[in-house]
Chains A and B, each alone.
Chain A
Amino acid sequence: MSRENLMLQIHQIQDEMLVMGSLVEQATMKSIESLKKRDKKMAVEVYNADRKINEKRYAIENSVLILIATQQPLAHDLRLLAALLEVSAEIERMGDYAKGIAKVVVNLGDFDIPVPIKEIDQMATLALSMLHRALGAFIIEDGETAKSIPAEDDKVDEMYNKVQRLLVNLMIEKPQNIDHANLLMWVAHNLERMGDRVSNICERTIFVTTGELVEIESKKKEIKL
């Protein structure tokens, strides 16, 4: 029996964070779905639902601050609460990316353009799977899993390059596609950024378990002149 009250409240915040994560997953999936179906109404729904995610983030932030103010968490508890602030911010940003994708769907309108939906779908599936596992690792504080996930980001990057090439070819083939292909470029870009955010979440997990702030770099990210 020790600090039951604090532990109880931390668990509640963690639950809220998981709910937020699944909201983001749903939003992303739905935005890709609306792109696939070119369903503007659905896209608008996704766009507006982001408000809910933002509110969740503020609620989590508030709870964390109250706990810090009233409970004097230290050591592991303090790292966990600090990480919760960071992770909720990352998830919220990912929600914004889903919102961005939905906005692209609206802006595309009914313009006829061959969307590389298969590749985009794959990117989204991979990024969301990473997010899902990263949050799971965060909750159970599984540092090993957290360390292994960022490597998968390279795959997302790879597919991002592929989609980019496809879209550039599209522009070259048909210059009147340029505006809309550019919009689609943002969709791919957003999905690629999601992978990076997941890496950040994994870094926080490692911070909680070991207390070390390390950047998990994949080999390909190094830039050489």
Chain B
Amino acid sequence: MTNQTDKQWAIETQDLDIYYSDFRAVKNVSLKIEPKKITSIIGPSGCGKSTVLRSFNRMNDFIPGSRVTGGIFFQGQNIYDPRIDPVQVRQRIGMVFQKPNPFPKSIYENVAWGARINNYKENLNDLVEECLVKSALWGEVKDLLQRPALSLSGGQQQRLCIARALAVKPEIILMDEPCSALDPIATLKIEDLMRELSAQYTIIIVTHNMQQAGRASDFTAYFTMDTDRAGSMIEYGVTSQVFTNPTHKSTEDYISGRFG
């Protein structure tokens, strides 16, 4: 693999700036994501966490006027290279959203669809089972596969969305506040699930809930806004370090609830 860095990072950004039309929402982010670990992005509302996350699988493309400068490297390739098809990027880097958004179809179909449209050639039934097992949902739904996905509870729906993302066989899973619409028990379940998945997948999670970042992640990136409202990364390190002894005053104020 050709890469300018000595280590193979899951994702590496270099001097990343993201604009919405003329407004610079995120500036100067240079971030290296450790593979097969959970990295959380925390920070006050509007500091550009979601913006950065969406840029990792080019979901920002759908926002008119959004623009990226600097580089985002995935396996040594800049995913914003004009020769790269964003559809392929999104297949390799999956996403789970804030509100559980299963398709209004059956549970089975929710998991199978992504694989099917990506020309999956092997046995779909096996794949569906595998993904539902991985997302810790199989036991609860194995007899209800033809039921509408929307009949599940919120927490189950979110795990279904994770199973759905897994079915496309991504290497990285992006999660944008995946638990903010869930109750505490469902939240803890998802966190446990993330821990298990991190053996095989790189997980990047945006959360406004810093306790969750503390509980669930190995690395934490703290973002905040400048006076020009552009978000930037203030601190990035091992979660236990960031949470017990942050280097920056601003991080400390944020995680101790004094600001943001």
| Chain A residues packing against B (C-beta within 8 Å) | 1-6, 62, 65-66, 69-72
Contact = CB atoms under 8 A, between A and B. Distances in A.
Given A1-B192, A2-B192, A4-B192, A71 B215 contact: yes
A72 B192 contact: no
A62 B238 CA distance: 14
Interface string B177-220: 00000000000110110010000000000000001001110000
Interface of B: 136, 188-189, 191-192, 195, 211, 214-216, 239-240, 243-244
Nearest to A67: B240
B192 A70 contact: no
12 contacts: A1-B136, A1-B189, A1-B192, A2-B189, A4-B195, A65-B244, A66-B244, A69-B214, A70-B214, A70-B243, A72-B211, A72-B215
Contacts of A62: 244
Contact of A3 (B136, B192, B240, B244): B192
A6 B216 CA distance: 10
B252 to A, nearest CB: 11
Q: Say what secondary structure dominates the interface of chain B.
A: helix
Contacts of B215: 5-6, 70-72
B40 to A, nearest CB: 11
Contact of A69 (B136, B191, B195, B243): B243
Given A5-B192, A70-B215, 7 more contacts: A2-B188, A2-B189, A62-B244, A66-B244, A69-B214, A69-B244, A71-B215
A69 B192 contact: no
Contacts of B214: 69-72
Nearest to B215: A71
A71 B244 CA distance: 12
A126 B243 CA distance: 43
Contacts of A3: 188, 192
B188 A69 contact: no
A69 to B, nearest CB: 4
A3 to B, nearest CB: 6
B243 A5 contact: no
A193 B108 CA distance: 67
B235 to A, nearest CB: 15
Contacts of A5: 191-192, 195, 215-216
A104 B144 CA distance: 74
Nearest to B210: A70
A127 B103 CA distance: 66
Contacts of B239: 70
Contacts of A4: 192, 195
Given A4-B195, A5-B195, A5-B215, A69 B240 contact: yes
A131 to B, nearest CB: 30
B240 A66 contact: yes
B246 to A, nearest CB: 10
